Structures are given as structure tokens and as C-alpha cells.
């Protein structure tokens, strides 16, 4: 099975520094194959056929603690979850000068449709729930008016890891390429 490991809070503002080459070695030492890192923000695509999905996260977090002395939260999504999110992401939602779109991957505690009701949104926000994620979109000129800025510091915010839509689409593409080999 093909997975992506999403590390929360690494290489942000000079904190929790993790070198991607060393992280790749860590994943390979766990027996994962075809390990690919994408950008410096903790996106690791890999394959595993020997470890049950429920045990993968704990193994990764323990290895990161041992190799980097960091207590990081890791969210692992299989290719089926990523494809489902991709299929529900409007093609017109982009990240560029005119628009901002993020994929907010949810930990189990908040992974339910009613999570949207916990958000303090504004009329400028476009939000969709897909199992495993919130898809958030706002026109660039309205970014400062978005209610999503109120997320910082909340329990919900601490139980998600965010990737911009360009990064998400690249992760999806890498996973699909690996699957189609």
C-alpha cells in the first residue's frame, strides 16, 4: 500500500529542524520502500506491505523521536484517502496571486462532517468537508477577512496539519505515479 506521512510543525520558523535526506533514511530503516520526500515541510510518500496501517504512525513517531529528538505528531494517509480528497477538490480552487486554497488534514478527533460547525467562518470562505480533511478556499483579496485566521491556537488547529493545494496536488501526483509503475 502507498502512504503519505504528514509531519506537523517541522521546519517552521527555524524550529523543529528535520533534514529531508535523514528523514528518508529514517523511513527506510523502518522497512518502508520507495521513500520520496516532497519539499522541506514534512511530506513523505512511501510503500509498506509488512506493517498494518494502524501501527505505522506509532512506528514513525517513535523513530523520529529516536533520530531527531523531537516529539512530533504524524498523520498517515493511504492512497485511497488522498484520491478521495483529490476527487472532491474543485479544479478551480488554486493557490496563486488571486486565490488561496488549503487542504487541512484532520486527526481522528475532528474527522467528522460537523467539524465545519466548529469553524468561525465569514462569507468570503468556501469550505468543504471530505473524510480526512477540510478544503478551504478564499479569494486572495479577501484573505485578511477570512474566518480561518481565527483557527490559530484552537484545539481544532492543534489536531490538523495543513498543506497548500499546490503541495497537496503534487503529493497526489507522486502517489499516483508510484501506484502506476
The CA-atom distances, in angstroms, between 144 and each of 97, 100, 148 are 14, 11, 9
**Stated pTM of the model:** 0.94
Q: Report the alpha-carbon angle 178-39-151, nearest 5.
A: 110
Fold match flag (2-80 vs 82-164): yes
89-101 pLDDT per residue, tens = 999 999 999 999 9
Q: Are 26 and 18 in contact (CB under 8 A)?
A: no
Lowest mean per-residue pLDDT among 20-29, 145-154, 168-177: 145-154
Q: What CA–CA distance (Å, rounded) separates 73 from 83?
A: 23
Judged against a pLDDT cut of 80, whether residue 13 lies above it is answered with no
Q: How far apart are CA 70 and CA 67, in angstroms?
A: 8
- What is the pLDDT, as a whole number, of residue 50? 77
Q: Are 134 and 126 in contact (CB under 8 A)?
A: no
Cα angle, residue 25 at apex, residues 29 and 19 outer, rounded to 5°: 145
pLDDT digits (tens, 9 = 90+) for 102-134: 999 999 999 999 999 989 899 999 999 999 999
Domain ranges of the chain: 2-80, 82-164
CATH of the domain spanning 2-80 = 3.30.70.1280
At the fourth CATH level, which superfamily is domain 82-164? bacterial protein sp0830 like (3.30.70.1260)
As a whole number of angstroms, the distance between CA 70 and CA 168 comes to 24
Determine contact, residues 59/52, Cβ cutoff 8 Å: no
Res. 40: pLDDT tops 90: no
Question: Would you say residue 17 has pLDDT above 90?
Answer: no
Amino acid at each position: 500500500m502507498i502512504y503519505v506521512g504528514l509531519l506537523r510543525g517541522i521546519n517552521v520558523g527555524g524550529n523543529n529542524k528535520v533534514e529531508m535526506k535523514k528523514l528518508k533514511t529514517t523511513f527506510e530503516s523502518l522497512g518502508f520502500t520507495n521513500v520520496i520526500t516532497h519539499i522541506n515541510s514534512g511530506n513523505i510518500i512511501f510503500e509498506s506491505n509488512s506493517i498494518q496501517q494502524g501501527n505505522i504512525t506509532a512506528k514513525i513517531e517513535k523513530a523520529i523521536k529516536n533520530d531527531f529528538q523531537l516529539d512530533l505528531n504524524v498523520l498517515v494517509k493511504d492512497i485511497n484517502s488522498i484520491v478521495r480528497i483529490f476527487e472532491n477538490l474543485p479544479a478551480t480552487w488554486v493557490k496563486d496571486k488571486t486565490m488561496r486554497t488549503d487542504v487541512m488534514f484532520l486527526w481522528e478527533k475532528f474527522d467528522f462532517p460537523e467539524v465545519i460547525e466548529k469553524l468561525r467562518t465569514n462569507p468570503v470562505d468556501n469550505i468543504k468537508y471530505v473524510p480526512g480533511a477540510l478544503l478551504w478556499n478564499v479569494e486572495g483579496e479577501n484573505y485578511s477577512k477570512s474566518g480561518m485566521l481565527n483557527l490559530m491556537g484552537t484545539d481544532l488547529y492543534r489536531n490538523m496539519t495543513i498543506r497548500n493545494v499546490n503541495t497537496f496536488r503534487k503529493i497526489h501526483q507522486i502517489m499516483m505515479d508510484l501506484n502506476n509503475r
